[in-house]
Structure 1
């Protein structure tokens, strides 16, 4: 069981989360951050990155609609955040789809210290070096489990990794948490993964817990909100679910999360700890 005290702390502090995100869903990411209790900033110009970081409490780098100029901005803001001690979250959307994305993510991981990498199984399998059949930004299929992928990414990049799916897995390479909250309707709305990485940024922004635990709280809260959203009698498809999800995030309480949470704890085999595959 987790305590979920970060939700109240988040709403009290209202941290500014700077998100260079997927332009397809930028509005939804901003609204989900507002609903959960954070303050979004979506600046993208390289010229203002260092200045923006003076105010940010977390930085989210999402490569969904990546360009050369956006990559430049990400490198500037990522390095500035590192200097200030601000957590950086990487969402490698569609990383396996093109050489440009692959090279960009490789550069970001080399030049910026990333506290959390979050993505679907296909994206994270690419980073883990696991064979996977994916289509564009969709998760696709493969033989490895989400748990194995999360653990490999965490060990390989010495960070925390979160793999979304039917069961979400969050790992720091030593311990892995499985989160069974959520709903299949999340897969029918574009950008729900981008919203999750933004919310993870909000939880990391307030601190108070290790990155692993903060990420588990964020993923659990988001999954519970999805369950509540789909129960709304007015939800009859992806469009109404999308609006209901924002409302559910806004009305979410720590008690509701405690009542509905469904998580498992796994210990990584000692023989695998410390391996850097």
Structure 2
């Protein structure tokens, strides 16, 4: 169960998001674009999925947050991301960045090495291998999945937290690390989130959806609160969906219903957040 005062902050962010219905500009990959849009809608924000370089920056200026994803990157989408990020910086619009594939491609790793210091995303999301690559630490990965030997667990959480929180503080950002245990830090405070189910790894795009949810909540409050609320909400929705599904297909369907129908009471009673 979440601490009462802490829960109040997250519930306030949920309600504010539903009230203001912020427009979230997403430039994501075609594999998960539909799921990201529906995840954003499920929690009360509004998605717009524009990626043409000729209009991307203009669309960003009318949005409340910019959600970027490096999955299945193309030259046109990359150009749109750069133009949109520049527009976001000029208009004080938060950038939420998913570092898909950073650990398996030198192109993406080098790209992020230039992009992050220049555009200063408020939230940087990835699995542990991707985040280690972004932070310039030793990582091992084949494909876009995290190396199982590097996953955050109860035995290594404190050591990871020391390294990752230091990097987050130095770069003035929030790190959102997805995995069987999610991890969130802004450099000053760090949390483990222990919600979720293994089935979430059996459908494509759950990491992308988590990034989109963080973007959906980002306009309504602090970046660390947005990242935490995204992680705990999505994890609980996964737990609920698993109880009503028989495999990946029905789980995928039930996941959106669970996310849409999630209540404050669900988060307060089922949330498993531990401060490190």
Same fold (TM over 0.5): yes
Q: Report what 2:178 is aligned to.
A: 164
Q: Distance in 2 between matches of 1:105 and 1:155?
A: 17
Question: 1:18–1:56: 8 Å Cα contact kept in structure 2?
Answer: yes
Question: 1:150–1:171: 8 Å Cα contact kept in structure 2?
Answer: yes
Q: Which runs of 5+ in 2 are unaligned?
A: none
- Is 1:65 aligned with 2:75? no
Q: 1:44 aligns with which of 41, 51, 58?
A: 51
Q: Distance in 2 between matches of 1:249 and 1:103?
A: 35
Q: Distance in 1 between matches of 2:205 and 2:186?
A: 25
Question: 1:35–1:246: 8 Å Cα contact kept in structure 2?
Answer: yes
- Is 1:189 aligned with 2:203? yes
Q: Report what 2:107 is aligned to.
A: 100
Q: Report what 2:231 is aligned to.
A: 219
Aligned length: 262
Q: Report what 1:154 is aligned to.
A: 168
- Is 1:254 aligned with 2:236? no
Q: 2:275 aligns with which of 255, 265, 276?
A: 265
- Is 1:240 aligned with 2:250? yes
Question: 2:113–2:134: 8 Å Cα contact kept in structure 1?
Answer: no
Q: Report what 1:198 is aligned to.
A: 212
- Is 1:177 aligned with 2:188? no
The superposition leaves residues 205-250 of structure 1 with CA deviations (integer Å, 9 ceiling, x where unpaired) of 223xx21122112211111111111111xx1111111111011111
- SS of equivalent residue, structure 1 residue 5: helix
Question: 2:112–2:134: 8 Å Cα contact kept in structure 1?
Answer: no
- SS of equivalent residue, structure 1 residue 117: strand
